[in-house]
Chain A
Amino acid sequence: MTETCRAPLLIASGILATLALASPFVARAGDRKLEVLLVNMAPASAQPDCMRDITRILRHEDTTLHRIGGDRTRELAGHEDDGLPITEWRADDLDAATRVVRTETPIDTIVLVDCRPEEGRADVWVRAPSRGVSRLSLRNTAIDTERAEWIARMVVMQAFVGFSP
């Protein structure tokens, strides 16, 4: 390679290297958003404040939320009549639910929330992209905004496990 060819190449390389180092891009799960299926499993389609709090926090993460009804989810999971608490559900039970949700990219994470502040209880079930499941139960505990945010923090942590966009 001639000297006349090398000089411009070196200059161009320097500029590109500088651009690369100065780029604001931060390595994180950000090539696309996490696709989350969030289901309110409260009885009679109630909309408790804690569910709204959890939804609000999830929206602020790198997520796209999708929703279907709790009754429909029970039906798809095959638990419409057995009364099995969601904390006892298996990872595979929700495969059918992910197929009925129309999304451009597949659902990564499923979050089921059965929040009953009037009873001082909450159950949450999270299937992460790794297909591992986390099950949280609270009993005899005030489910106020602070507690709902605490639940949401757990959901956010678990929702991204194994996510590689």
Chain B
Amino acid sequence: MHRLLAICITATLLGCGSTDAPAASAEPEAPLAEAVEPAAPTDGVDDAIDEDEDEDDGGDDEGTEDEATATAPDLGAHEVVLVVVHDDPLLRSEERLLDVVAERMQMRRIDAIRREATDEEASFARTRFAGEGRESALPSSLTEVGTVVFVRIPPNRELDRGQRATRGFGGVIAFRRGEREPYAELRIDDDAAWRGADEQLWPWLISLVRAARPS
């Protein structure tokens, strides 16, 4: 508050000292609004939100799904399969987030592979993320693999001029190998999506994956 007050007084004095600068008193409003708006408890989060506001016109994301599903890797050979479920094409910031998660897992000696959900897997996951379909079984494509972690990216926010911004991270559902019921489930409403920094999300997800290991 002291800082804002000083800025306002400074701007007022400068406006007083010059009769040909009528707009000077209006300029401090922008930093004021930015300073009081942060919605999360750390500075790192603020950075991430700014980054996420880098709107995307969608054009650069074309082809992402094709690249991800072009090959059929041996899922069973991996400890963890991250299955990404999303409605809109992933934004660059969302791609980066998922890349960071996979990369950090590798660095922590967690053999993880990330891939897009197939139609069947996406349908299964969306039903579970909606809090329904508890009786439905894990798709057969994922029954013989290691820990399965569905990662949900919620629909983008529509901005002006057709631009889009990420809502963040929309939750996870994790299954241990061969188990029908998930050992962990985080369902997040779209208007509460986790917009935290990568530095907060990946350790959380790594801890989630480690919880699947036998104690």
> Which residues of B lie under 8 Å from residue A62 when comparing CB positions?
41
> Which residues of B lie under 8 Å from residue A142 when comparing CB positions?
211, 215
B10 to A17, Cβ gap below 8 A?
Answer: yes
CA distance A158 to B200 in the complex (A): 12
CA distance A131 to B38 in the complex (A): 17
A157 to B40, Cβ gap below 8 A?
Answer: yes
Interface code B2-24, partner A: CB below 8 Å = 1, 0 otherwise?
11101101100110111100000
Identity of the chain A residue whose Cβ is nearest the Cβ of B2 in the assembled complex:
A23
Q: Does B195 make an interface contact (CB < 8 A)?
A: yes
B185 to A28, Cβ gap below 8 A?
Answer: no
B188 to A139, Cβ gap below 8 A?
Answer: no
Interface code A126-159, partner B: CB below 8 Å = 1, 0 otherwise?
1011111111111111100011001001101110
A147 to B18, Cβ gap below 8 A?
Answer: no
CA distance A161 to B169 in the complex (A): 12
- B187-212: which have CB < 8 Å to A? 187-196, 200, 204, 207-208, 211
- From B16, B36, B182, contact of A31 by CB (8 A): B36
A26 to B39, Cβ gap below 8 A?
Answer: no
CA distance A38 to B180 in the complex (A): 32
> Which residues of A lie under 8 Å from residue B46 when comparing CB positions?
27-28
B6 to A153, Cβ gap below 8 A?
Answer: no
Q: Does A47 make an interface contact (CB < 8 A)?
A: no
If A25-B2, A132-B190 touch, whether A153 touches B204 (CB-CB below 8 Å) is yes
> Which residues of A lie under 8 Å from residue B10 when comparing CB positions?
13, 16-17, 20
If A9-B13, A17-B10 touch, whether A138 touches B183 (CB-CB below 8 Å) is yes
- From A16, A88, A138, contact of B184 by CB (8 A): A138
CA distance A95 to B211 in the complex (A): 34
CA distance A31 to B39 in the complex (A): 12
Q: Does A46 make an interface contact (CB < 8 A)?
A: no
Q: Does A103 make an interface contact (CB < 8 A)?
A: no
> Which residues of B lie under 8 Å from residue A10 when comparing CB positions?
17
CA distance A15 to B71 in the complex (A): 63
> Which residues of A lie under 8 Å from residue B16 when comparing CB positions?
1, 9
A153 to B40, Cβ gap below 8 A?
Answer: no
Closest Cβ–Cβ distance, residue B188 to chain A (whole Å): 5
B41 to A61, Cβ gap below 8 A?
Answer: yes
Interface code B153-197, partner A: CB below 8 Å = 1, 0 otherwise?
000000000000000000100001001011111111111111110
> Which residues of B lie under 8 Å from residue A158 when comparing CB positions?
188, 192, 194
> Which residues of A lie under 8 Å from residue B1 when comparing CB positions?
25, 31
Contacts from B to A (Cβ < 8 Å) = 1-4, 6-7, 9-10, 13-14, 16-19, 34-43, 46, 131, 171, 176, 179, 181-196, 200, 204, 207-208, 211, 215
